[in-house]
């Protein structure tokens, strides 16, 4: 709560403090050594062999943390995952980035990493959807696919020997993102999961939780298979007028995008991990209380969300018992 910069009244401050204390007690019961600060002792079984990883050191015969973060254990390896650090990519991560340069046979993307990532022309689906060798004409038309400042969704492919990062976009679900809003949050708030692409059918919105802390909220776009590309081309002329009329995003859609974006901003300020269930609960809370989109960023709604999350975790803990 010390890091929060909200204009709280005395009553709101007390309520928020109680909610955080409740969350902290529930977290402590679930995992006593989950979070550590500098010089905290990390409990380990000294009878079994273990490996000291990043953020740990041996001091007076005890394993202590050298950074603030969360204790992670992988087999015998014990390390501390630092909070509020730059994004550390892993192969297979879904990321959202911004194009900063169009170079020879490649695009350079800013993805909140220490270096710009590279998306090769050969590592993505062409607009026609046909798997073929890239030609000189494709290279000349690269700006018709992505240009500077475009928002792109891709997947981490591999690392080069010099530490640079290569991306790929070989699926229809990857590519250019339009008609939406980009949010930038701390990467540690987005945990790796089986699904980072979410279609919110009730709102007609696509939500992409990038592992690099870049979150995209935009109008839903159907991922077209290459088999139906030719069928789409055959009726393209008959839908030109309709396409022109739908070139804008409807007001209700924009309001839904802003409401979801503000829900994520509130959760980020409170320091909660971002996942689909928590986002939707926050959105539903604002809608049920008839809170205006702009008022969601006020102090009272932050307190309500903290109290809601504390109550939810408390109920979950009781059910497990």
pLDDT of residue 253: 94
Structure tokens, 12: 């709101």
Structure tokens, 243: 């396409």
Helix 251-270 / helix 276-288 crossing angle, nearest 10 deg: 110
What is the C-alpha radius of gyration for the chain, rounded to an integer number of angstroms? 23
- Per-residue pLDDT in tens (0 to 9) along the chain, 321 residues: 556 778 889 999 999 999 999 988 877 555 545 778 888 888 887 767 888 888 899 888 889 999 888 888 888 888 888 877 778 898 999 999 999 999 999 999 999 998 999 999 988 887 666 667 788 888 898 999 999 999 999 999 999 888 889 999 988 889 999 999 999 999 989 988 889 999 999 999 999 999 999 999 999 987 644 433 343 344 344 444 445 445 778 999 999 999 999 999 999 999 898 999 999 999 999 999 999 999 999 999 999 999 999 999 888 887 776
Question: Are 56 and 79 within 8 A, CB to CB?
Answer: yes
Q: 105: which residues sit within 8 A by CB, 6+ positions away?
A: 120, 121, 122, 134, 139, 142
pLDDT of residue 97: 96
pLDDT of residue 54: 86
CA angle 58–60–61, rounded 5-degree value: 65
**37-84 with 85-178: one CATH topology?**
yes
Comparing C-alpha atoms, which of 268, 310, 317 is closest to residue 31? 317
How far is it, in rounded angstroms, from Cα 249 to Cα 270? 30
- Cα within 13 Å of Cα(16), Cβ side: 22
Q: Which CATH class is domain 37-84?
A: mainly beta
Full-model pTM: 0.82
How far is it, in rounded angstroms, from Cα 28 to Cα 31? 5
Structure tokens, 266: 């509130």
Length of the chain: 321
CATH assignment of 85-178, among 3.20.20.210, 1.20.1090.10, 3.40.50.300, 2.40.50.140: 2.40.50.140
- What residues does 99 pair with on adjacent strands? 109
Integer angstrom CA distances of residue 64 from 37, 55, 69, 87, 248: 9, 8, 12, 24, 55
Domain ranges for the chain, please list them: 37-84, 85-178, 180-220+250-320
């Amino acid at each position: 709560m010390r890091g929060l910069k909200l204009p709280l009244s005395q009553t709101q401050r007390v309520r928020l403090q109680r909610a955080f204390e409740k969350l902290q007690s529930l977290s402590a019961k679930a995992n006593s050594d989950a979070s550590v600060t500098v010089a905290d002792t990390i409990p380990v079984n000294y009878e079994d062999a273990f490996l000291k990883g990043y953020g740990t050191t041996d001091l007076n015969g005890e394993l202590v943390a050298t950074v603030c973060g969360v204790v992670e254990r992988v087999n015998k390896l014990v390390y501390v995952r630092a909070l509020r650090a730059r994004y550390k990519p892993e192969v297979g991560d879904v990321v959202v980035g911004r194009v900063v340069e169009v170079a020879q046979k490649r695009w350079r993307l800013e993805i909140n990493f220490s270096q710009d990532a590279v998306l090769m022309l050969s590592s993505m689906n062409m607009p026609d959807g046909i798997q073929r060798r890239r030609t000189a004409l494709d290279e000349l038309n690269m700006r018709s696919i992505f240009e500077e400042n475009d928002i792109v969704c891709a997947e981490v492919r591999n690392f080069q020997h010099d530490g640079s990062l290569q991306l790929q976009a070989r699926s229809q679900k990857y590519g250019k993102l339009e008609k939406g809003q980009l949010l930038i949050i701390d990467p540690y708030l987005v945990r790796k999961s089986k699904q980072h692409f979410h279609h919110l059918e009730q709102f007609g919105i696509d939500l992409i939780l990038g592992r690099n802390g870049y979150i995209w909220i935009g109008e839903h776009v159907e991922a077209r298979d290459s088999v139906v590309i030719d069928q789409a081309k055959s009726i393209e002329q008959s839908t030109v007028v309709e396409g022109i009329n739908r070139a804008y995003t409807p007001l209700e859609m924009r309001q839904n995008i802003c409401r979801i974006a503000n829900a994520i901003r509130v959760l980020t300020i409170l320091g909660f991990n971002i996942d689909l269930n928590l986002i939707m609960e926050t959105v539903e809370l604002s809608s049920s209380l008839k809170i205006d989109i702009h008022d969601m960023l006020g102090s009272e709604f932050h307190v309500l969300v903290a109290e809601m999350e504390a109550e939810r975790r408390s109920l979950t803990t009781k059910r497990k018992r």
